[in-house]
Amino acid sequence: MDKEKLEAYWKKNLSVIRNILIIWFVVSYLFGILFYDALNAIKIGGYGLGFWFANQGSEVIFVILIFVYTSIMNKVDREFDVHED
C-alpha cells in the first residue's frame, strides 16, 4: 500500500474514533451529568431520562458504540483493502 493510501486510511480511522468519542462524551457526560435535571422531565418506565442515562444509559450506549465501531472499521478495512478475511 502506498503512503497516500495509508494516510487516507489512518485519517478515516481517526475520524471514526473522533465521532464515536464525541457521541460517548455527549451521552455519558452531558446527558448523565449536565442535562440530568432537564432530562428527568421525560419519564421512561417511571424513571427520569436523566436518571436512566446516569445509571445505565451511558454503559448501554458504550457497548453499542463498540459494535458500531467494529462494523464501520470492517467497512473501512474493505474499502482500503486491508481486511483480514
pLDDT digits 0-9 by tens, 25-62? 999 889 888 999 999 999 988 889 989 888 888 889 99
Q: Rg of the chain's alpha carbons, rounded to an integer?
A: 17
CA 60 from chain center: how many Å? 11
| pTM of structure | 0.80
How far apart (Å, rounded) are the C-alpha atoms in residues 80 and 67? 20
Element (H, E) at 48: strand 47-48
Please write the tens of the pLDDT for every residue from 65-83. Answer: 999 999 999 999 999 988 8
Is 67 in contact with 7 (CB distance < 8 Å)? no
